[in-house]
Amino acid sequence: LALLWALGPAQATAAPGAVGAKTHHILILHSYHQGLGWVDKINEGIRGELASGIDGDVQLHFHYLDSKRTPQKGAMELQRSYLERRLQLLQTRFALVITADNNALHFMVRHRRALLPDAPVVFCGVNNFERAMLGGHRDITGVVESVDHVHTFELMRRLQPRRRRVVIVSDATPTGAAVRAELAKLAPRYRGRLTFEQLPGATLDELSSAAARLDPHKALIYLLPFNRDQQGNYSDYAAAIGALRK
């Protein structure tokens, strides 16, 4: 089963099927926004698999929560209201809901009964997965995202054995917080070999200043997801890398 994502404002696409065959409606709920490379690749994979993998027509309905660019406080209730009304107007029976990343899964679990209580859910891209995230719902399955920090750190040590200070750069989104939680569990493993410093939610100017103060012969920078700083400004990896190189 391919990973399927996101319902977006008034957007639906179809995969070809046999004439007169049953139409399968699938809601793809993305945590982030269209145009983000990660999101677009997921959509590409879904469309590619469904084009030949299902008997009948497939209608994909996309919805984007846009949670990297839009602070979640208050916004998710507006998203729920809009999506609930949209589904009422469609009057369509959905065969499946696919959620991408943590925010979309959390959103669907919280509002499933009001939105699509009978549709099974497949999730993907979920960090720090725990069964409690499913809220006791049935007919939910998916793919967990797990970053291999251990082997990354071991590679860093082999390539740069004299550098023992690791500065962890991450953003002010739930994704950044989830990955920082993963790293916090690993810190005791490297006691005496590596020291870790967190730089969460810094602005691009703050990143430039922090990088300029580092000793290039002793420090390593570990760049995690970087999409929104603590002031609410949206950014991306390219901008973060540019700031760190200044």
Cα distance between residue 204 and residue 210, in whole Å: 10
Strand partners, 195: 165
Beta strands 121-126 and 165-170: pairing type? Answer: unpaired
Give the pLDDT confidence of 126-151 residue by residue, as tens digits: 988 899 999 999 999 999 988 899 99
Distant-in-sequence, close-in-space partners of 13: CB < 8 Å, separation ≥ 6: 47, 59, 60, 62
Q: Which residue type, as a one-letter code, is found at position 37?
A: G
Give the torsion through C-alpha atoms of 164, 228, 46, 57, to 10 deg: 170
pLDDT at 171 over 80: yes
The confidence band for 222, taking pLDDT boundaries of 50, 70 and 90, is: very high
At 55 the pLDDT is 67
* pLDDT of 197 over the 90 cut: yes
- The structure tokens listed for 200 are 């969460």
Nearest CA to 75 out of 107, 113, 36, 30 is that of: 107
